[in-house]
């Protein structure tokens, strides 16, 4: 089964960048934990580790606690790790279930746990393009219900998704939480410890800077930025990403 990857420097400031490899199956994965890091009163970052070319690569997603349930932004790397995350959430939030998820593009570290989500009755939202790509790559199909810019409300939490244009992939979107001024940049945005962007088969280097600039223009009062890989920070992650792209020319 062919699956694309989005790979960056790891959460623990790994000193390498790996591209285009197939992560090992969960049974071969020595890192089975999924960590939860609180970012705001009702927002957590979930981090799971996939194995790529024999090396661990952590990837970030987000968990939102709303008045009506929990919402995931992106899944861990695979079904096993996603099941582990769901079990952790049941322990931490015994009175709430995961009702919805948003996936930001069709790579393993974003959609690898879709089957587990569907088995647990979770609605998985995406753009139509991401849904089409996921299906082509052998994943369960997300709903494909998100437009270029979509405003959603889960219980008492407002969420906005936005497609800024091609960049890391042709389908990458970001997620904005206006109450917390928190931007989940996914793999479009690089952590400050990332030193290099290595070309991948399905990225768009000529379009990527414009996509980041679109995000900067749209959201100019950001407190927290969560990248797809690496440590969260502030809006400097956006300009850092632009610098990396400029250096690549």
Q: Label the pairing between strands 157-162 and 174-177.
A: antiparallel
The dihedral through the CA atoms of 182, 187, 190, 191 has a sign that is: positive
Q: Per-residue confidence at 46, pLDDT binned at 50, 70, 90?
A: very high
Tokens of 157: 């939490």
Percent of the chain with pLDDT over 70: 87
Domains and CATH numbers, the chain: 26-248 (3.60.15.10)
pLDDT band per the 50, 70, 90 thresholds, residue 31? low
Q: Is it the case that residue 11 has pLDDT exceeding 80?
A: no
Is a pLDDT exceeding 60 seen at residue 8? no
pLDDT of residue 54: 87
On the question of pLDDT at 157 being above 60, the answer is yes
Could you give the CA distance from residue 69 to residue 39 in angstroms, rounded to a whole number? 18
- The pLDDT value recorded for residue 52 is 82
- Does residue 32 carry a pLDDT above 70? no
Decide if pLDDT at 22 tops 50: no
Per residue in 79-131, pLDDT (tens digit) is 999 999 999 999 999 999 999 999 999 999 999 999 999 999 999 999 999 99
Average pLDDT over residues 153-170: 98
Rounded to two decimals, the pTM is 0.88
Q: Is the pLDDT of residue 13 over 60?
A: no
Q: Tell me what the mean pLDDT of segment 161-184 comes to.
A: 98
């Amino acid at each position: 089964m062919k699956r694309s990857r989005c790979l960056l420097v790891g959460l623990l400031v790994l000193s390498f960048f790996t591209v285009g490899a197939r992560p090992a199956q969960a049974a071969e994965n020595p890192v089975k934990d999924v960590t939860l890091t609180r970012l705001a009163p009702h927002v957590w970052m979930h981090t799971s580790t996939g194995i790529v070319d024999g090396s661990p690569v952590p990837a970030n997603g987000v968990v939102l606690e709303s008045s009506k349930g929990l919402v995931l932004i992106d899944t861990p790397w695979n079904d096993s790790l996603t099941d582990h995350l769901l079990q952790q959430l049941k322990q931490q939030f015994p009175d709430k279930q995961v009702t919805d998820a948003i996936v930001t593009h069709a790579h393993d570290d974003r959609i690898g746990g879709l089957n587990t989500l569907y088995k647990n009755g979770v609605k998985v939202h995406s753009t139509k393009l991401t849904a089409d790509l996921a299906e082509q790559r052998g994943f369960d199909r997300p709903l494909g219900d998100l437009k270029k810019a979509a405003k959603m409300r889960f219980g008492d939490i407002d969420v906005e998704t936005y497609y800024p244009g091609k960049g890391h992939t042709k389908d990458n979107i970001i997620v904005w939480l206006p109450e917390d001024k928190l931007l989940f940049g996914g793999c479009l945005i690089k952590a400050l410890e990332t030193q290099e962007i290595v070309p991948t088969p399905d990225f768009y280097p000529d379009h990527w800077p414009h996509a980041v600039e679109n995000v900067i223009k749209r959201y100019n009062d950001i407190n927290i930025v969560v990248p797809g890989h690496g440590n969260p920070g502030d809006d400097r992650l956006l300009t850092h990403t632009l610098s990396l792209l400029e250096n690549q020319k």
